[in-house]
Amino acid sequence: DVVLTQTPPTLSATIGQSVSISCRSSQSLLHSNGNTYLHWLLQRPGQSPQLLIYLVSRLESGVPNRFSGSGSGTDFTLKISGVEAEDLGVYYCVQGTHAPNTFGAGTKLELK
Amino acid sequence: EVQLVETGGGLVQPGRSLKLSCVASGFTFNNYWMSWTRQAPGKGLEWVASITNSGGSTYYPDSVKGRFTISRDNAQNTLYLQMNSLRSEDTATYYCTRDLAQNWGQGVMVTVSS
């Protein structure tokens, strides 16, 4: 199975600070069809996860543009340019290139 | 607005069965693959099952293969998860999702305990 390693496990930030989360895959996530099925989710406390970024860098409708995704192959990054209070929670990367689909262990973003 | 509403959770004894349902609205249900993902208390996310838009193909991880069955009724815009031979490690909140992760329901709790 593909292992997604997220770092750091916990991230402390102040409001307005820019932060990055890394997601490294044990295998390339480039599919034979040319797509890379690596997505980013946010789970706020007590809520269901929500999709932020899909296919590495595409912003889901309604998601603020302070969120951005980048990367290729095995290394991917989620960046938040100016953390806001509503951004606190656990961030997950998930891959759908290789069966079975797998999730990273999560990165908890908290206020410093 | 996309809505996914799960029902059917509860407390069940080990070895018994339970069937979850998810009613979808706000999108053309039969155009999308659908999935179930679970989250054990205080833990991360684990994909449980996916089904193609027609229902013709299904996919599972080894942890539930042979015990869980995903199905759908496109006429009723409803997704199902039949869970048999339940174990304590199946205790989790189960989420219905459009595609792998595009939209999520509110989740339904399943507790397997004697």
Distance CA(B32)–CA(B24), nearest Å, equals 11
Residue B25 to residue B9: CA distance in whole angstroms: 20
Handedness of CA A23, A25, B104, B91 (dihedral sign): negative
Could you list the mean pLDDT of each consecutive 10-residue stretch along chain B, which spans 114 residues?
Answer: 98 98 98 97 97 96 98 98 98 97 97 97
Which residue on chain A is closest to B98 by alpha carbon? A51
Q: Tell the residue number behind the tokens 């290789």, with chain if given.
A: A98
Number of residues in chain B = 114
Question: pLDDT by residue (tens digit) across A24-42?
Answer: 999 999 999 999 999 999 9
Q: Kindly give, in sequence order, each residue whose CB lies less than 8 Å from that of residue B114, ignoring residues fewer than 6 positions away.
A: B13, B14
Residue A98's pLDDT is what?
95
pLDDT in tens, A57-112: 999 999 999 999 999 999 999 999 999 999 999 999 999 999 999 999 999 999 88
User: For residue A58, what pLDDT is reported?
Assistant: 98
Contact list, B59 vs chain A (CB under 8 Å)? 99-100
Percent helix / strand / coil, chain A, rounded to 5: 5, 50, 45
Integer Cα distance of A62 and A26 in angstroms: 31
Query: What pLDDT, on the 0 to 100 scale, is given for residue A43?
Result: 98
* Rounded CA separation A79/A61 (Å): 17
Which B positions 47-106 lie with beta carbon below 8 A of chain A? 47, 50, 59-62, 95, 100-106
**pLDDT (0 to 100) of residue A32:** 97
